[in-house]
Amino acid sequence: MLSDGQGGKQVVGDRIMEGSQNRYNQRGVSSSKEEVHRVVDRMDRGLFPGAFCKITPDALTGRDDFCNVIHSDGAGTKSILGYLWYRETGDASVFKGIAQDSLVMNLDDLACVGSWERVMISSTVNRNARNFPADALAALIEGTEEFLQSLRDLGISVLSGGGETADVGDLTGTVAVDSCAVAVMERDRVIDNSRVCPGLAIVGLSSSGQASYEKIENSGIGSNGLTSARHELLSKHYFKQYPETYDSKTPEEYIYCGPYRMADPLPGSSLSVGQALLSPTRTYLPVAKAMAEELGDQLKGLVHCSGGGQTKCMRFGTGVHHIKDNLFVPPPLFAEIQKASGTTNEEMHQVYNMGHRLEAYCPPEHTDRVIEISKSFGIDAQVVGQTEASLRPDQANHVTIRRDGVELTYG
């Protein structure tokens, strides 16, 4: 069950946030990225303006029936957690998981437009060579190749085009791990989220547990909100021992202000706090591919609940009220983040996936099959809500989340 939080005044949409949002701002983090969207949303949105990723005419082959998709993202500050683990344990293999985080944050966005063939990946590692030595770098490179091979074993055609390693000690005290994915695909195979409309069911695919293609249990964290999670859960031990892992301009009260060391057990879980925070971001590529191949045009949309959490869906469809009234029980890590930080329910659902990181939109009569496909990969799934016509006077999209007798509204 979620707490009411101790975030002070909390309002959503265009209104001002105080309390828990202030903690994000004090760490130099924007959970909504409104300043980015103000610029990007005015730019050309490509061939399919309502798609999850920008899709452009095919400049690689020049064919009119094909298109290109390109996407850049990375592991974010999760790489700092890998660094802390490495420094405390000497285990460089933790960076294989960080490599996966960076790749999945690109590839699962591509999956939401139906792209999982003819995909090329390039990776960029910016490191402080004094703090991030050769064995750690080797683990990153090996982890990239091992993860891509695991995808190929599952029928996903992704190849590495190499990358770049830059020694930039003046820019980073530790390491930043980023990737770029580019793909060529047929235009008639694009999953276009502009088809999200009133009258659809929303099926959520669990972010926690252990998929059939995963080697270990997944906490569900993904690669979003790790700046907040890291500082809210981990103790002042890390402030004192690893000053290279935080911005010296951040007020000390907001730096590593939690109760835990990474080796401490996470309440309600078989994982330690460090293992849960470092849990490699799950890819849904094999599941998305299987759903698209079976449902065809009846798969109306896919949303990767990454930046924006359970409000990400608000950006897709026209005149849609997204109602989520049957969400998964939040995995233990999210409950502990909220307990430690006092973050409000509104902010938790806007930053974290809170239990499912991929959602499929389809007519209600197809939900049983979507759930069956997901469970065939060992991933729990359930109908988490539905779409209705927008209630806003301007017909803008909006989201309502109902759980534990509390209603949260966004938009």
3-state secondary structure 231-278: HHHECHHHHHHCHHHCCCCCCHHHCCCCCECCCCECCCCCCEHHHHHC
Provide the 3-class DSSP secondary structure of residue 12. coil
pLDDT confidence of residue 79: 98
Query: What end-to-end distance do the CA atoms of the chain give, in Å?
Result: 24
| Structural element, H or E, at residue 182 | strand 175-186
Do 410 and 404 form a contact (C-beta atoms < 8 A)?
no
In this structure, are residues 84 and 245 in contact, taking their beta carbons and an 8 Å threshold?
Answer: yes
Residues 60 and 66: their CA atoms lie apart, in Å, by: 9
- Looking at residue 21, its pLDDT comes to 56
Strand order in the sheet with 158-167: 55-57, 66-74, 175-186, 119-127, 158-167
Q: Find, among 57, 67, 46, the residue nearest to 187 by Cα.
A: 67
CB of 138 within 8 A of CB of 94? no
pLDDT of residue 340: 93
3-class secondary structure, 403: strand
Question: Are residues 318 and 309 in contact, defined by beta-carbon separation less than 8 angstroms?
Answer: no
Structure tokens at 348: 């938790």
Nearest to 301 by CA among 317, 286, 314, 289: 317
Residue 157: other Cβ atoms inside 10 A = 12
CA–CA dist 106, 101 (Å, integer): 9
Residue pair 203/371 in contact by the 8 Å Cβ criterion: yes
How many residues would you count in the chain?
A: 411
Q: Shortest CA distance to 218 belongs to which of 380, 403, 1?
A: 380
Three-class secondary structure of residue 335 per DSSP:
helix
Series of mean pLDDT values for 10-residue runs along the chain (411 residues): 36 38 62 59 85 96 95 97 97 98 98 96 97 97 97 94 95 97 97 98 98 97 95 97 95 96 97 98 98 98 96 97 98 96 93 97 98 98 98 97 96 93
Contact, 177 vs 98, CB < 8 A? Answer: yes
Task: Centre a 10 Å sphere on the Cβ of residue 298 and count the other Cβ atoms it contains.
Answer: 15
Which residues in 187-206 are b (16+ Cβ under 10 Å) and which e?
Answer: beebbbbebbbeebbbbbbb
What domains can you pick out in the chain, each with its CATH number?
1-43+191-222+280-411 (3.90.650.10)
Supply φ then ψ for residue 57, to 5 degrees: -55, 150
- In this structure, are residues 407 and 400 in contact, taking their beta carbons and an 8 Å threshold? yes
Q: Residue 45 has what pLDDT?
A: 81
